[in-house]
Structure 1
Amino acid sequence: MAPVEVVRGFVRDVRSGAHPELADRYMAAAVAAHQIVSESEVTVVRTPADYSEHVRDFRRMFGHFELRIEEMIADGDRVYVRWHQTGHHLASLDGEQPTGKTLIEVSSAVYRVSAGRIVEYWIQTDRKGLELQLARSATR
């Protein structure tokens, strides 16, 4: 399967929250996950089981959210994806009380695929945008 098809299936089936249990279909046994935030870069190793739980955590925080792919670009073994995730504030994200209000998270990631599996990715999330939405929700 072409890298773009692997990533498309992964985002559609797993990252979307629809079927997190299918992570092992798209991910290698150990995936280097580079989480890029403005202050620093952290790399963690994700297994398919760990990633499935990570997505279940998103569902606990945002409910059954909608993930809409805005852009997908493939170049060799790398695939760039930018998405909007829309859900509801159902659990504390940074110590605040859940409001139930709509939250939109904008993220992008570059996935590296080898032998039909995701082996590495770099992800960036608009944390400031999420912080501003949480602040607005708290004042209303």
Structure 2
Amino acid sequence: MSGGDSPAPKFLQTNEQIIKSFFEVVRSGSNPEQAKFFMAKEVRAHQVNSESMVTIKRSPENYADHIREMKDSWGNFKIEIQELISQNQKVHVRWKQTGMHIGEYEGYLPTNKEVIEIGSAVYLLEDQKIVEYWIQVDRLGILEQIKKNQEQD
């Protein structure tokens, strides 16, 4: 492997550092295929929505595809960690993601205008790999922004 193929040696990283690197490298859309360095082969992903909690199983490859789909909808979005708290094997992250609505999202055609996502997740790590997470995203806020952007046209 060349120096750019993998993150810093994991034995030097705390769980908090691993999640911060995961956001910088994978979740940011910079290099989604590196999910394999951060995630177990199978990860339980709890999508915590008031109307229906769903748990899906994600592989690193599936997660990389998910990030690429986000880029199809939001372009080269910017993600900013606003809060990061670590306790034992769990790490909480709250973020602000800003992108341009360039692709279809939830049936809405692109507005080519900025949309902000506010979200948070708690990641459970074992052996320095993500094995499970609980994610909450303000989906209604995203849809409200899209609707407002459509009305402005």
TM-score interval, normalised by the smaller of the two chains: over 0.9
Pairs aligned (count): 140
Q: Which has the higher contact order (CA 8 A, sep 6+)?
A: 1
The one-character-per-residue Cα deviations of 1:88-138 (angstroms, maximum 9, x if unpaired) are 011111212211000001110000000010000000000111011011011
Q: Which runs of 5+ in 2 are unaligned?
A: 1-12
What is the aligned-residue identity percentage? Answer: 41
**Structure 2: which amino acid aligns with 1:43?**
T
Could you say what secondary structure the match of 1:40 adopts? Answer: coil
Could you say what secondary structure the match of 1:97 adopts? Answer: coil
> How much has 1:38 moved relative to structure 2?
1.3
Matched, 1:131 2:133: no
**Structure 2: which amino acid aligns with 1:74?**
S
What's the TM-score, normalizing by structure 1?
0.98
Matched, 1:56 2:39: no
Q: What's the Cα RMSD here?
A: 0.7
Tell me which residue corresponds to 1:105: 117
**Structure 1: which amino acid aligns with 2:148?**
R
Q: Which runs of 5+ in 1 are unaligned?
A: none
Largest Rg, 1 or 2: 2
Matched, 1:79 2:83: no
**Structure 2: which amino acid aligns with 1:60?**
D
User: Quick one: distance in 1 between partners of 2:58 and 2:22?
Assistant: 14
What's the TM-score, normalizing by structure 2?
0.90
